[in-house]
Structure formats: C-alpha cells, structure tokens
Amino acid sequence: MGILQGKKGIIFGALDENSIAWKTAMRCHEEGAEFVLTNAPVALRMGEINKLAEDTGSEVVPADATSMEDLSNLFDVAIEKFGKIDFILHSIGMSINVRKGKHYTEMNYDWLTKGWDISAVSFHKVMRTAWDKDCMNDWGSILALSYIAAQRVYPGYNDMADNKAYLESIARSFGYYWGKEKKVRVNTISQSPTATTAGQGVSGFDGFLQIADEVSPLGNATADDCADLCVMMFSDFTKRVTLQNLYNDGGYSNMGVSEGLVNKFINGLEKS
C-alpha cells in the first residue's frame, strides 16, 4: 500500500521526462494515486506526455491554464472520473521576456502580462475552478512550484521573479479561504535550480545551479527530490501544513556563503 493509495488528483505541467511534474506523476503513481494529466494544447502536440500517461494509466486532458473554459472542462473530466479529488499540482511557468532575452530594464509589458497570467494568475484560476465546482475532498492538498527569486535578486530570472512573488502570495491569500471553509491546504515549494526546459531557458541558469549546489550544505534538490516532497505534501502526513513556502533546496535559502565558494573565489583571485 502506497501513502497515496485511494487519492485522486490533477497534475499540470509534465512536458518531458525532465519536468518536475513528470517525476511527481511517476512517484504519485508508485504511491498508489490516480490522476488526470494536463498541459497546454501546444505542449501536448510534442506527444511525449502520452508515454507518461501510458506508464501511469492516466488520461490526458488539454488545458491552457489561463483559460477558464479549458479549466472548467478539465475539472469536469476529473470529477466525472473520480468524483471529488484530493490533490492538485500546479507546475507551470513561462516568461516571454525570458524566452526572447528582453532585459528587465526594457520590459515588454504585453509579454509581462502574458507571462504573469500563465505563471501566477493561472494558480488562482485553477483554485477558483476547483472552488466553484466544490470538488476537493476534506484534507486535500494544493501545491504550486516556486523559486527563491521571489525573495532575493537573481539577475536574468527577469519578470519570473515578480511572477513567483505573486504566485506565493496567491497561495497564502486563497489558501486562507481553502483552509477555513474547505479543510484544504495550499502551499508552494521553492525548489533548487533544476535542469528542465523552463529552468534552462533562464539566462545564467548554469551559474545559478552551480553556485547553489556549492553553497547548499546538502547540495541542490533534484527533480526527483521535489517529486518526493510533493508526494509527502499530498499525503495525510502533512495535514496541517498550509500557507507555507517550503524550501526544497539543500539548505541554500539560509546560507550566506560556503567555505567552498570563498575558497574558489580566493584561489581565482590568486591565479589572476
């Protein structure tokens, strides 16, 4: 018996086998959960998700997470299949300014608005759809993925930093009502830099990844580590953890510098 035996859910954002959502779907399946997989229609055209669907015995339902109509249809399919559901994973992020290499100081505001809708407001839309349809079981769990650029400056992460700050705020604001009225918890996981399609699109990403790995006493959390934490957060072992931004980062968020980083810097200076 897995720790998610009998749990039903919806998983957004599995693009390919590197995706955090992909790894999470595999782990949820291993722990006995059943779920619907979803992604934007354009991402589904790549076809890779069908392999994940086969491996996990899941149905794939296309939905642009910014479209209330698509979300309504998606939740109707899940409700038809499962009745009420127990967990939702929002693993979605995209910035056109990042993608097109637009500098933060020269922000294109149309692109900003689109990226904000996809990366942050869609979390409200997902929860609003579930709320309106009253489809979450008591003690259900809703999760979204974030990054420490919501709190600290990472040049190159661009408007995604602002989107993540907004996303984390939505988790707290909506999470209050979910807790009070529906006994459902809402959290974000702030994950280490991870080599995925979204991650590698960020300028300077390899540097972020290596520095974080050097500074963190436990090293960077991998996508598999993140999947494990998602499983735990969907399980009954975390029933009263809510309104939190949970750092899954090997300790990075509480570090200043590490001896290793200082030594690398000093050695570099000595050589130059």
Task: Write out the catalytic residue numbers.
Answer: 147, 157
Residues in binding site for NAD(+): 13, 19-20, 92, 164
**Residues near ligand NAD, by CB under 6 A:** 12-13, 15, 19-21, 39-40, 43, 64-66, 91-94, 118, 145-147, 191, 193-194, 196-199
CB 73 within 8 Å of CB 67: no
* Residue closer to ligand NAD, measured from CB, 101 or 204: 204
Binding site per annotation, positions: 13, 19-20, 92, 164
* Ramachandran assignment for 13, one of left (phi > 0), alpha (psi -120 to 50 degrees), beta (any other): left
Report the distance separating Cα 160 and Cα 166, nearest Å. Answer: 10
Q: Minimum Å distance from CB 39 to ligand NAD?
A: 5
Contact 97, 111 (CB under 8 A): yes
What percentage of the chain's residues is helix, strand, coil (to nearest 5)?
50, 15, 30
Min dist CB 263 to ligand NAD, Å, is 26
Report the nearest approach of ligand NAD to the CB of residue 177 (Å): 22
20 or 33, CB closer to ligand NAD? 20
| Residues pairing with 61 in the sheet | 38
Cβ at position 181, least distance to ligand NAD in Å: 26
Query: Which residue sits closest to ligand NAD, CB atoms considered?
Result: 199
Sheet holding 8-12, edge to edge: 59-62, 34-39, 8-12, 85-90, 136-146, 185-191, 245-248
What is the rounded CA–CA span in Å between residue 255 and residue 250?
Answer: 10
Nearer to ligand NAD, 195 or 266 (CB): 195
**What is the DSSP secondary structure assignment for residue 90, as one 8-state letter?**
E
Specify the residue, 62 or 262, whose C-beta has the smaller distance to ligand NAD: 62
How many Å apart are CA 222 and CA 197, to the nearest integer? 14
